[in-house]
Amino acid sequence: MIEVLSSNFVVAVEAIAHNKTRSILTSLGIIFGVASVIAMLAIGKGAQLEIMSQIRLLGANNIIITPVVEQTEGKVEESTGSSAGAEEKKPFSPGLTMEDAASIVAVIPDVASVSPETVVETTAIQSGYRRSTKLVGVTESYFDGSDFEVESGRLFSEQHIELSAPVCVIGADVVTKFFPNQQPIGQELKVGDLWLTVVGVLKKRNISDKNIERLGLRNFDLDIYTPISTMLLRFEDRSRLTADDLTRAAMNQNSGNSNNAAVNYHQLDRLVVRVDGSHRVRPVADVITRMLQRRHNGVVDFEVTVPEALLKQERRTQTIFNIVLASIASISLIVGGIGIMNIMLASVMERIREIGVRRSVGATERDIIYQFLIEAITISITGGLIGVILGVLISEGISLFADIGTAVSVPSIFIAFFVSVAIGLIFGLWPARKAALQDPVFALRHE
């Protein structure tokens, strides 16, 4: 059997070599079909990896609560001094506060942790260098739920938080800006009007600009982190009424200035709730929404977002899109198979006399079938190998020039290649069968 196959393989290869141009044109459909399938699957895989990286950035099983600064609204006559409008008072809301965070942990089950966050735009000074930056007040759970890693030093201790200590943890780019030639741990950094001691440095996150814009994130590498107790005590606490607030209100009243601009009265800028188990995220989010509505006296001045659900929906949409793209690309393989069948049928008609000569010297119908079938499969294998190389190059080109993430996977290469071989086998079977059924006597007389 092996000898029969090897001898027919030699005959098939000689026939392909004798008609190089026709063989190359026949394999073009397979080449571009395999390359298209690999490129489309690479785009889909890249999109899937991008979505997974976004889920890791936002944290698995997280619920994000953000404040909404309530805007003024009403009829036109109400803003022009109508008594009816003046009598209508809106319920008081304390805004998003630390008490909300404590209540969520104490009341709602399946909540693993709650991470409050307050951000202040300020400036940092060290060794005569000044730069605008963001000071972020957080708790120790913030770093656990957001996939942060410590490069050197340590994170905040419980003692730091309890004492509202003037300490900070800095991002990797802060080290580059302020401590280029020295060890930052133990050094002091002036943030606003207060000197903070650096106790830790975070590893570089390398978040793309696209993810920063798309997910509403900050550049974590440029942030300075301090205990939230330190932030609220020593820097800013928007929930507390200060002498400056009273003075500003009195000045507006005396000057008759009816300034209706929205004022941010929320103590916190964000709350991240981490839930035990992804299947509990949605129910917990609904309970949190109702609970905060009651705590804020019916004023919906917050927004509850489930990022994993949004990203999963995006992933489902992307999967459907990938299936459509792969299906369209697969049509090229089918067209390539039809091309092989057409060329092989034409080859049978051109080589009837050759078939007759082979049959007259002892070749069987099976030998003729093997010969033409091996020709079709050889063309498919060659086209498949070239298509794999071309598909990888196209994927790299898309990633390089179109700024679209791609990821070529080994399974996609094997799938595209073996499909091309199968197409050569399937579409080459009929021409091989037609060649084997030729009458030897008629074939020898054919001109």
Task: Output the pLDDT for position 196.
Answer: 93
Secondary structure of the chain as H, E, C letters: CHHHHHHHHHHHHHHHHHCHHHHHHHHHHHHHHHHHHHHHHHHHHHHHHHHHHHHHHHCCCEEEEEECCCCCCCCHHHHHCCHHHHHCCCCCCCCCCHHHHHHHHHHCCCEEEEEEEEEEEEEEEECCEEEEEEEEEECHHHHHHCCCCEEEECCCCHHHHHCCCCEEEECHHHHHHHCCCCCCCCCEEEECCEEEEEEEEECCCCCCHHHHHHHCCCCHHHEEEEEHHHHHHHHCCCCCCCHHHHHHHHHHHHCCCCCCCCCCCCCCCEEEEEECCHHHHHHHHHHHHHHHHHHCCCCCCEEEECHHHHHHHHHHHHHHHHHHHHHHHHHHHHHHHHHHHHHHHHHHHHCHHHHHHHHHCCCCHHHHHHHHHHHHHHHHHHHHHHHHHHHHHHHHHHHHHCCCCCCCCHHHHHHHHHHHHHHHHHHHHHHHHHHHCCCHHHHHHCC
CB distance 414 to 323 below 8 Å: no
Round to whole Å and give the CA distance between 108 and 106.
6
CB distance 369 to 435 below 8 Å: yes
Task: Output the pLDDT for position 82.
Answer: 47
- Kindly compute the dihedral angle of the four CA atoms of residues 30, 428, 25, 364, in this order, to the nearest 10 degrees: 140
Task: Output the pLDDT for position 99.
Answer: 92
pTM more than 0.85: no
Please identify every stretch of the chain with a pLDDT value under 70, giving residue numbers as ranges: 1-5, 7-9, 11-12, 15-16, 48, 50-60, 70-89, 145-147, 206-218, 241-262, 308-315, 317-318, 322, 325, 329, 349-351, 403, 438-447
Round to whole Å and give the CA distance between 207 and 259.
39
Task: Output the pLDDT for position 289.
Answer: 92
User: HSE on the CB side for 92, CA within 13 Å?
Assistant: 2
Task: Output the pLDDT for position 263.
Answer: 75
The token pair at 166 is 């003037």
The token pair at 199 is 């106790």
